[in-house]
Chains A and B, each alone.
Chain A
């Protein structure tokens, strides 16, 4: 079967469903009696199962099927939610995720799911998952004696029994196909379709897989729960062509004793539920829920990110040409041309906004994976933690989103591992035993901020300093001049680790220095605030997008450079006599603040600067956090939108270059370098 064209959709949607289930499970853990959550999980699992079966991923379908059974039991209030059960469910989610990832990377999604399926089956049957399988269960060994062609297990039997109590009819239908029937599988499908319009097929003999594979003779039986009358069913099935005969009988239960035993068992399991406040009634019928799901869907289309990247690249070319046109038109000074170019610039500006917006993705995509991770880590570390997430709807460019995940994972791990104390330590210091980790995202100007704060132990300033001194990260002379914040930031220096013992969580040879580097390579920055004993906050500042930025073009000697507009406060011209000296360094008074002068020609070693003879300086005042610097340049060329390009792996990895964060191509086709103002401010 040609499935490739659906594969992408399948993977995409499977991931979405897994995420939904994951999120809902975490919600459920907090509020185990909310059956609407269970229904939500059930719906997603059900869809996933259907998709997996259609695509032929049997292991995936099997596991989801078992999961669905457990959920169904919960949904029908035959079983209550408890931690052991959730653990197994989470485990099976891990397996499902593994399989989907495997499929996404070209594998077949095959995994031995026997063990986990067995665990799920035990839960489904109300056993504790620790108990040993089947043999310890006499009923299943004996097995219910079938009254007819369709065999039902205990669980199905309770479902049947319950639906009968609720006034549904259960029928056992035996269908015989015509001898000359060519496409038996298709007929079976049509019969099922007819039945599912009025009820639900609980079980079939032979199983659906066998039926689909056309691996049966001419006869098959199904067990149906429906509100419809017997005659109606018969009529519907006979409408399907090539059906020879239909026999419908009400389903008969076998010996009362088995049923009673089952009931008892179910009651046992359901007990804790009774103490809970009135739980919502039985979830609506499957068909209805499907409809409501459809209504909430937005009118959107899925676009392959690669296509968006191509669009972006093409647009970048356009931005470069636009720059060139603007240059030509200002040189030619021809009104008609200027007018057209201005118009074009405006339109392409609008277009740029649209394209950039199209690439904006809520950080939710990254944040989503954290609750699960935190739950697992907290268990591994024996800590109690409450993760609260704010601003998940904040949007960032897709390219930034892709890069920011790993650093955040690292910081959250760090907060859990080194930040939060164990419950008894917390209690001893008068805190609640449950710690809090807060994850917050918000927009501010041209930037997005992401903060990770914890109410843990905070950073021990002296310990950090000691370690930095012994590791040679700072010299004793430097140490005496450092502010607290600068000391905290030492933990991000390369080769630094404050952990006394290497733990499984963060002792993987990757330190915070990698986090810092990743963030800085994205054009962002990270700062640390901490109060010893009360907790720490890691704050990350990121640019909205990586590819097109506004810059101020400046000139020094014969060379042109670009300064990102986002870091510029303003440009100014200062007289030489206004320059003052502090610590033998040139500074100016800028709106009441003392701001150091940075001579770019010295930093960059520019040949032949001509400015020497003038009696004033052109400066660009830039900031990094709350610190400022005035960069002295020869002249301003003007503001321009440029496409950010990297300097190439060679100049970024092999020979890293100081004070240059990237490059761009100007209208004349030449390369201009982008100044990293952050590096200029100490």
Chain B
């Protein structure tokens, strides 16, 4: 029993366009409604700006822009998922966030070459749960600035 519990990953499920994604629950600090965002000049286009999150200035990344999807006006369901990594707090703007589920280890498969619209680089794996398909994100890669630097050098 304990054994099988150990092998389950709890993830927060969110939606982008018509696909479902998951981030490990231990990397999620909170889920917030969209509030006023202060634009940060000269930052990459997917950085929407910064918000005041209970006294802490937190950067906000629009995941749609990050993944190269078309932008969407913020709506009733739009949420910011505050994720934490190595002392880093970043808010991710997603279309909706409404589920927490356990994924058994055996349901996770390595990322196929191309999944939907997102480059395979960001993807740690996919989880098949009956009829749902969850894309598990590799936040490291989502945050990394490798191709941002590339962009800058092209522009410069």
Most buried by A among B49, B58, B144: B58
Is the Cβ of A646 less than 8 Å from the Cβ of B57? yes
Is the Cβ of A655 less than 8 Å from the Cβ of B148? yes
A650 interfacial contact with B, CB 8 Å: yes
Q: How far is the CA of A673 from the CA of B38 in the complex (A)?
A: 8
B55 interfacial contact with A, CB 8 Å: yes
Q: Which residues of B contact A665 (CB under 8 A)?
A: 52, 55, 57
Segment at the B interface, from A270-278, A286-294, A577-585, A598-606: A598-606
Is the Cβ of B52 less than 8 Å from the Cβ of A671? yes
A235 interfacial contact with B, CB 8 Å: no
B1 interfacial contact with A, CB 8 Å: no
In chain B, positions 24-63 with a C-beta closer than 8 Å to chain A are 36, 38-44, 47, 49-52, 55-59
Is the Cβ of B41 less than 8 Å from the Cβ of A651? no
- Residue-wise, chain A 317-357 has the 8 Å CB interface mask toward B (1 for contact) of 10010000000000000000000000000000000000000
Segment at the A interface, from B5-13, B83-91, B99-107, B114-122: B83-91
B145 interfacial contact with A, CB 8 Å: yes
Is the Cβ of B43 less than 8 Å from the Cβ of A657? yes
Q: Which residues of B contact A317 (CB under 8 A)?
A: 55
CB distance from B147 to the nearest CB of A (A): 12
**With A648-B57, A654-B145, A671-B57 as contacts: A605 and B42 at CB distance below 8 Å:** yes
Give the nearest-CB partner of B152 in chain A: A655
Is the Cβ of B40 less than 8 Å from the Cβ of A670? no
CB distance from B41 to the nearest CB of A (A): 4
Q: How far is the CA of A519 from the CA of B44 in the complex (A)?
A: 25
Give the nearest-CB partner of A648 in chain B: B59
- Within 8 Å by CB of A655, from B47, B49, B52, lies B47
Q: Which residues of A contact B59 (CB under 8 A)?
A: 647-648, 650-651
CB distance from A657 to the nearest CB of B (A): 5
A658 interfacial contact with B, CB 8 Å: yes
Is the Cβ of B41 less than 8 Å from the Cβ of A659? yes
Q: How far is the CA of A672 from the CA of B38 in the complex (A)?
A: 7
**With A649-B87, A650-B143, A651-B40 as contacts: A669 and B52 at CB distance below 8 Å:** yes
A559 interfacial contact with B, CB 8 Å: yes
Q: Which residues of B contact A203 (CB under 8 A)?
A: none
Is the Cβ of A655 less than 8 Å from the Cβ of B145? yes
Is the Cβ of B52 less than 8 Å from the Cβ of A670? yes
Q: How far is the CA of A658 from the CA of B43 in the complex (A)?
A: 8
Q: How far is the CA of A559 from the CA of B49 in the complex (A)?
A: 12
Q: How far is the CA of A645 from the CA of B52 in the complex (A)?
A: 10
Q: How far is the CA of A408 from the CA of B96 in the complex (A)?
A: 50
**With A317-B55, A650-B143, A670-B52 as contacts: A660 and B41 at CB distance below 8 Å:** yes
CB distance from B92 to the nearest CB of A (A): 11
CB distance from A680 to the nearest CB of B (A): 12
A28 interfacial contact with B, CB 8 Å: no
Q: Which residues of A contact B148 (CB under 8 A)?
A: 655
Q: How far is the CA of A603 from the CA of B148 in the complex (A)?
A: 20
Is the Cβ of B89 less than 8 Å from the Cβ of A650? yes
A152 interfacial contact with B, CB 8 Å: no
**With A654-B143, A665-B52 as contacts: A648 and B43 at CB distance below 8 Å:** no
A374 interfacial contact with B, CB 8 Å: no
- Residue-wise, chain A 637-676 has the 8 Å CB interface mask toward B (1 for contact) of 0000000011111110111011110010100011111000
CB distance from A554 to the nearest CB of B (A): 14
- Residue-wise, chain B 52-77 has the 8 Å CB interface mask toward A (1 for contact) of 10011111000000000000000000
In chain A, positions 417-454 with a C-beta closer than 8 Å to chain B are none
Give the nearest-CB partner of A603 in chain B: B41
Is the Cβ of B89 less than 8 Å from the Cβ of A648? yes
CB distance from A502 to the nearest CB of B (A): 28
Q: Which residues of A contact B89 (CB under 8 A)?
A: 648-650
Give the nearest-CB partner of A669 in chain B: B52
Is the Cβ of A648 less than 8 Å from the Cβ of B39? no
Is the Cβ of B42 less than 8 Å from the Cβ of A604? yes
The 6 closest A-B pairs by CB, nearest first: A604-B41, A671-B38, A658-B42, A649-B88, A663-B57, A645-B57
Given contacts A646-B57, A648-B58, 4 further A-B contacts (CB under 8 A): A559-B38, A603-B41, A648-B90, A650-B89
- In the assembled complex, 13 residue pairs joining A and B whose CB atoms fall closer than 8 Å, in A order, are A647-B50, A648-B59, A649-B86, A650-B59, A650-B88, A651-B59, A654-B88, A658-B41, A670-B38, A670-B52, A671-B49, A673-B40, A673-B50
